[in-house]
């Protein structure tokens, strides 16, 4: 810190700096920036004119603040969900998914000798939500978002996590209610989500989800319902296979991470 100026210099500075040369004024200002004691001296020696000016400025600021627009309210995180587009776009699809799972649960309770419809439908449960979350048709601002740096696999995973946050608890609840192994309920649905995301790098997420879902329904669900026997891949011993599939598909999706930069990958 520079040396403290004496009181007479500070008083002359407060009165407007008459009689002081420029170099003294500058050194006093630089010193005042860092020394609270000398600032207190300055406050004690302000002239009446300066005090009147400060009062006018304060009154003007108060008037401006009172007349101006209100400050933006603090964002409450718990109320943010209802404003999100994704919540409203997903609501019908997730309601349908939960309703279908509920019906499958009821059917299983009524006809316990049939193969578990819940187990058969669990893998395709998240797929409608995933398809809606990353599709040009469902997202009104897709063109804006597709041109931003943040568009890519991170955003897709965030939206998929929102879908899974609803579907996985519903599956777990239904599975616990019907006494099926929890791993067997949840792992196939995660594997199918990973499959539609991984294939989405090649053909677009919406098409991949639709294709994978339809394939499963035609190739596995329909024959199982007709033959009245659970397929081999849904036996309790196949849990490690599903876990391996999840890891492999996730690795594939990560290796093609650049393919998600435009909302419908291959075009």
Partner 1 sequence: MMRTVSAAETAPTTHPWVVHTEGLRVRAGRHLAVDGLDLALGTGVHGLLGPNGAGKTTLMRALATVVKPAGGRLTLLGEPVDGRSDLRRVRRGLGYLPQQFGFYPRFTVREFIEYMAWLKEMPKTVVPGAVQRAIDRVGLTAKANARMKTLSGGMLRRAGIAQAIVNDPEVLLLDEPTVGLDPEQRLDFREMLRDLGVDSCVLVSTHLVEDVVAACTDVVMINEGRLVYQGTPDDLITQGGQGDAGDSPAERGYSALLRRHRAGTGR
Please give the residue ranges that form the binding site for partner 1 (CB under 8 A).
69, 72, 82-85, 88, 139-152, 258, 261-262, 267
Contact 188, 249 (CB under 8 A): no
Residue 80: phi, psi to the nearest 5? -75, -25
Residue 3: phi, psi to the nearest 5? -70, 150
Per-residue DSSP letter, 46: -
Contact 162, 90 (CB under 8 A): yes
Sequence-ordered alpha helix ranges (H) in the chain: 7-14, 22-34, 36-44, 48-67, 85-110, 117-121, 127-133, 142-146, 153-178, 182-203, 205-216, 222-227, 239-255
Residue 92: phi, psi to the nearest 5? -60, -40
Smallest separation, CB 126 to partner 1 (Å): 23
- Mapping DSSP onto H, E and C, the string for 129-146 reads HHHHHCCCCCCCCHHHHH
């Amino acid at each position: 810190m520079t040396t403290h100026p004496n009181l007479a210099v500070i008083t002359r500075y407060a009165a407007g700096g008459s009689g002081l040369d420029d170099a003294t004024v500058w050194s006093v200002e630089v010193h005042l920036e860092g020394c609270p004691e000398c600032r207190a001296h300055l406050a004690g020696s302000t002239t009446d004119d300066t005090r009147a000016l400060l009062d006018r400025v304060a009154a003007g600021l108060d008037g401006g603040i009172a007349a101006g627009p209100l400050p933006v309210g603090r964002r409450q995180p718990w109320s943010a969900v209802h404003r999100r587009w994704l919540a409203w776009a997903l609501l019908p699809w997730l309601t349908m998914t939960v309703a279908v799972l509920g019906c499958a649960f009821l059917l299983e309770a009524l006809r316990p000798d049939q193969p578990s419809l819940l187990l058969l439908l669990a893998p395709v449960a998240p797929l409608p939500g995933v398809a809606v979350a990353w599709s040009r048709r469902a997202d009104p601002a897709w063109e804006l978002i597709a041109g931003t740096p943040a568009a890519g696999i991170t955003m897709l995973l965030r939206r998929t996590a929102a879908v899974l946050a609803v579907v996985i608890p519903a599956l777990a609840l239904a599975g616990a209610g019907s006494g099926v192994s929890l791993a067997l309920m949840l792992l196939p649905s995660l594997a199918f989500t990973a499959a539609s995301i991984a294939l989405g790098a090649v053909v677009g997420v919406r098409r991949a989800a639709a294709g994978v879902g339809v394939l499963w329904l035609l190739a596995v669900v329909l024959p199982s319902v007709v033959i009245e026997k659970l397929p081999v891949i849904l036996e309790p011993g196949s849990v490690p296979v599903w876990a391996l599939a999840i890891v492999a598909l996730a690795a594939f999706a990560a290796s093609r991470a650049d393919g998600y930069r435009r909302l419908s990958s291959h075009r």
